[in-house]
């Protein structure tokens, strides 16, 4: 095991590489237990703990710079680490099919961890899931497991999954579309935001091969490529020019995230874009009036 900060959760055994641990552990005694709201961050594949920490830090700093009034919600952020990488980076990139199974296991462990948290005294705990790449598979597997737990009567009203914020989702469209194994989980939260980019070469070239080898379909298309299935999400945004690794660190990601969390998007017109001398305005004496004909 490795050192965890108070608002960190993990099912990793090592900070780089390693297997899925038997349970999720927290960096503090209570973890997110008893809170009224939780924002859970989940990184993608090929991320070590230091890499994921850096991504989470940049994302929060960018958000705060655009939405200083949103400082309060960052106090509810918990950062999750799962073993979606190998110790040697080259093997980590090539091990994508193995990481699919790690994502499934991690999602189930996280679901059971959340289901057993101490309840909030102020009502159901609102949970927002914010994920990137294969981390979206983790959160959808979490939701699938939670739905099964609820159906079994183990938990009832102490958890409310209020939103999912999916960045570059490395999840087959067929799995979240109607009839797919993850369709129910994908439409469970009331707010469902998808950020996508046709410029994402990882999802265009590597994802279909990895998913095929991982037995998730024959060269499927990723949700994070074109944002489909259309009509299933409450918020969709094309991130023009974004590559697969651009979502956490780029400041422009904060705009749809702020909207997702209910903040008004700020006016970002730069001072040098405001025209200071728009040109001559016609004087009143030169403006001709047209009289209305009498009836």
Question: What are the tens digits of pLDDT across the range 187-236?
Answer: 999 999 999 999 998 898 887 776 665 445 556 889 999 999 999 999 99
Q: 3-state DSSP call for residue 165?
A: strand
The pLDDT, as a whole number, for residue 134 is 94
Degrees, nearest 5: CA angle 130-134-56: 40
**CA gap 139, 194 in Å, rounded:** 14
What mean pLDDT value characterizes the chain? 85
What angle do helix axes 96-115 and 135-151 make, rounded to 10 degrees?
40
Predicted TM-score (pTM) of the model is: 0.86
Chunked into runs of 10 residues, the chain (295 residues) has average pLDDT values of 93 94 95 95 95 98 95 96 72 56 95 91 93 97 90 71 96 94 95 97 81 57 94 96 97 97 74 38 37 38
Q: What is the pLDDT of residues 158-184, one digit of tens each?
A: 899 999 999 999 999 999 999 999 999
**CA gap 96, 207 in Å, rounded:** 8
**CA gap 126, 146 in Å, rounded:** 14
Q: What is the 3-state secondary structure (H, E, C) of 177-224?
A: CCCCCCHHHHCCCCEEEEEECCCCHHHHHHHHHHHHHCCCCCCCCEHH
The pLDDT, as a whole number, for residue 100 is 85
Neighbour tally for 114: CB within 10 Å? 25
Tell me phi and psi for residue 196, to 5 degrees: -140, 165
* Strand ranges, E, within 43-190: 77-81, 125-132, 159-167
The pLDDT, as a whole number, for residue 98 is 64
Structural domains present in the chain: 8-286 (3.40.50.1820)
**Is 188:111 a contact under the CB 8 Å cutoff?**
no
Tell me phi and psi for residue 202, to 5 degrees: -65, -45
**CA gap 262, 9 in Å, rounded:** 26
């Amino acid at each position: 095991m490795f050192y965890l900060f108070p608002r960190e959760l993990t099912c990793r055994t090592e900070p780089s590489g390693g297997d899925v641990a038997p349970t999720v552990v927290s960096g503090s005694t209570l973890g997110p237990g008893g809170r009224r709201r939780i924002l859970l961050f989940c990184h993608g594949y090929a991320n070590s703990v230091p890499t994921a920490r850096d991504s989470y830090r940049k994302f929060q700093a960018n958000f705060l710079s655009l939405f200083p009034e949103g400082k309060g919600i960052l106090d509810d952020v918990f950062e999750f680490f799962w073993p979606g990488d190998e110790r040697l980076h080259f093997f980590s990139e090539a091990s994508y099919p193995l990481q699919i199974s790690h994502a499934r296991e991690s999602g189930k462990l996280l679901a059971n961890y959340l289901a057993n948290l101490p309840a909030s005294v102020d009502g159901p705990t609102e949970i927002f899931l914010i994920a990137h790449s294969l981390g979206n598979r983790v959160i959808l597997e979490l939701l699938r497991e939670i739905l099964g737990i609820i159906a079994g009567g183990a938990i009832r009203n102490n958890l409310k999954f209020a939103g999912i914020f999916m960045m570059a989702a490395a999840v087959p469209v067929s799995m979240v579309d109607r009839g797919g194994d993850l369709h129910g989980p994908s439409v469970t939260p009331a707010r469902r935001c998808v950020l996508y980019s046709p410029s994402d070469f990882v999802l265009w070239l590597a994802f279909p091969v990895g998913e095929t080898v991982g037995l998730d379909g024959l060269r499927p298309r990723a949700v994070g490529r074109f944002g489909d299935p259309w009509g299933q999400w409450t918020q969709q945004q094309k991130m023009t020019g974004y590559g697969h690794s651009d979502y956490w660190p780029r400041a422009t990601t904060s705009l749809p995230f702020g909207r997702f969390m209910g903040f008004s998007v700020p006016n970002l017109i730069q001072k040098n874009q405001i025209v200071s001398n728009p040109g001559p305005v016609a004087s009143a004496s030169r403006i001709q009036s047209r009289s209305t004909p009498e009836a």
